Amino acid sequence: MEINDYLRILRKRGYIIILVALIAGASAYAVSKMQTPIYSATVKLSVVPARATDWGSSNSLKDLLRNYAENITTHGMAADVIDREQLDMDTGSLLGKLFVSPDSSTFTLALEARDRDPKVAMDIVNQMSIVFIEDRDQWNQRQDKRDRIDVSMLDSVYNLGYQQYTPQTSINTLAAAIFGTLMGLLVIVLLEWLEMDIIRTPSDIERAIDNAVLGTIPPVTSPSSQPRQKGSSKLVPKLGGTNS
């Protein structure tokens, strides 16, 4: 097919792409607006060994970060947070809202909480950070100063604020519109495939046989379809002989 054929198809059926894309995008937008928003709050904890310049201590801390992440997501830690914040949930529900990501390249722990109420999300992540820092401080008191590991909050979650985690209305709408465009193209391809062998115009013949059409035979109309002239009469031949 040549470029002109593609342009002809787009002019003929391009509205299908636009229509399907609009329907898909509008549907995704409506569904996103009907969903209950989930908000996310995040805070980072800095984890620094007393002998930060010591290669062995720094290398061991990389493994400790994963252990710290496991310690944070325990029912004991969650129970302390619930008691201090007077949250109406059990430890399992709280841990289902909490996510911890260790980063060994920056020696940090990222604590993220998600909830329908942005204030609850911020309270959870803030109080969990405080509980964990206090737990590490108590551990440090039993260690030699050279073996201590300092944990501190880089910034308050109340300064950082929160953001909407789901639904991502703009992303959902754009993705649905792109998907609708692809579906529209698929529909056009299917329709063209179904009509591939149908000849309607001289140009269809030329594309089929790759030769120019020299002429066309006009359609034959029946006598009954032709308009009858005013004042004309139909002659009926006489069927018998003449009387003498």
CATH of the domain at 112: 3.30.70.1130
Same domain, yes or no: 21 and 77 = no
Q: Which structure tokens are listed for 185?
A: 């193209």
Q: How confident is the model at residue 52 (pLDDT cuts 50, 70, 90)?
A: low
Same domain, yes or no: 44 and 161 = yes
> Which of 19-33, 68-82, 196-210 is least confident?
196-210
pLDDT at 191: 85
Tell me, what DSSP letter sits at residue 145? Answer: G
pTM of the complete model? 0.67
Evaluate whether 85 touches 123 at the Cβ level (below 8 Å): yes
Domain count, the chain: 2
Evaluate whether 184 touches 17 at the Cβ level (below 8 Å): yes
Mean pLDDT computed over every residue of the chain: 82
| Top-confidence residue, 230 or 2 | 2
- Max intra-chain CA distance, the chain: 152
Same domain, yes or no: 62 and 180 = no
Interatomic CA distance for residues 92 and 107, integer angstroms: 28
pLDDT at 230: 53
Evaluate whether 66 touches 102 at the Cβ level (below 8 Å): yes
Q: How confident is the model at residue 222 (pLDDT cuts 50, 70, 90)?
A: low
pLDDT at 3: 77
Render pLDDT for 89-108 as a digit per residue (tens, 0 to 9). Answer: 999 999 999 999 999 888 89
Cα 67 to chain centroid, rounded:
34
Same domain, yes or no: 51 and 158 = yes
Q: What number is the average pLDDT over the span 163-183? A: 92
Residue type, 29: Y
Same domain, yes or no: 76 and 131 = yes
What is the span of the domain harbouring residue 16?
3-34+169-194
Q: Is residue 67 part of a domain?
A: yes
pLDDT at 106: 86
Q: Which helix (H) or strand (E) holds 8?
A: helix 3-34
